[in-house]
Structures are given as C-alpha cells and as structure tokens.
Amino acid sequence: MEHIDQLKTLFMNKVSPPENEEENLSGLFSGLSYTKRITGFAICLSLGLLSCFVSSFFLITPRIFAKFYTLGCILLLASATFLVGPTQQIRTMFAPQRFFSAVIYIAAILGTLYCALWIRRTGLSLVMIFVQFGAALWYGASYIPFAQSVLKEVGNRGAQQICWSV
C-alpha cells in the first residue's frame, strides 16, 4: 500500500506557484515569477533535448559527440532547477537514496568534459560517454520507484546470458 501512495504522489505532483515565502525559490531564482520559471524550464529542457539529439549526428566523432551530449545533460539538470529552485534541487539530488547516483553522474559529466576538451583523447572520451550514459540512467532511475531494482535485475540477467554464451 505504501508503494501505491508513492506512485500516486510521483504522478500527481504538479508544479504550482509558491504559496508562501518559504516555498519561494532562493538566491538566483527568487525574482522570477511562476510564468518565468516555467518558461526557463521549457527553454532549458528544449535546448537540452535538442543538444542530445544533435549529438547523435556526431556518433562517429566521439569528442564532438561528448561535448553536445554533456551540454544536453547539464541543461536537462538545469531545467529542473527552474521548477524547484537551486536549494531544493541540491537537496533532492543529494538525498540519501540518490547521493551516490548524483555524485557518480556529476563526476561522469566532469570526466567527459575533461577527456573531450582538455586532454582531447577520443578513446577516453568514448569510455566516459558510456560511463556518463550509465550514470544518467542510474540517476534517473533513482527518481522512479523500483526502477533501480529493475535495472539491477536486467543487468544481472544480461551478465548471466553473456557468461553462459562464452
């Protein structure tokens, strides 16, 4: 029954204008109206999705792919910040149940940028793209009830199939 309540709150939560000052956004977004926050969210989300889509045209050049894909991931994270504010976004990202997922995801983003922009190694950029994708998948799954358990099970079964076929 508890899981059903969690699913209800997950799908029934809607973004609404802040009712009091405590719910209002802090710092950078405190001066933005509800409409501007939604607009900022939509713009960041659209640019993030567009950047991830554009990155697919550069699959044969991993360093360029890494740049566009990582920019898209950063914009997607930023889009949620417009909805809930930077303080709540940080609290949510680093909540105990997703702390390691968030740390690994951010480290993968930084590692991908480092490999693609500074040391300019195509092989390492390619490895970091896969690490970043896996970290993004795991991080995103931390927001969906039972999703990480499903991913573990799928991974275990896939590993068993690979081991048995060798």
Q: What is the mean pLDDT of the chain?
A: 81
Determine the average pLDDT of the residues in 117-142: 87
**Does 25 have pLDDT greater than 70?**
no
Alpha-carbon gap, residue 137 to 114, rounded angstroms? 21
| Higher per-residue pLDDT: 9 or 104 | 104
Burial class (CB in 10 A: 0-12, 13-18, 19+), 139: buried
**Tens digits of per-residue pLDDT, 53-98?**
999 899 888 888 888 999 999 999 889 888 888 888 899 889 888 8
Distances (CA, A) of 30 to 74, 95, 97, 136: 21, 23, 28, 28
pTM for the full predicted model: 0.70
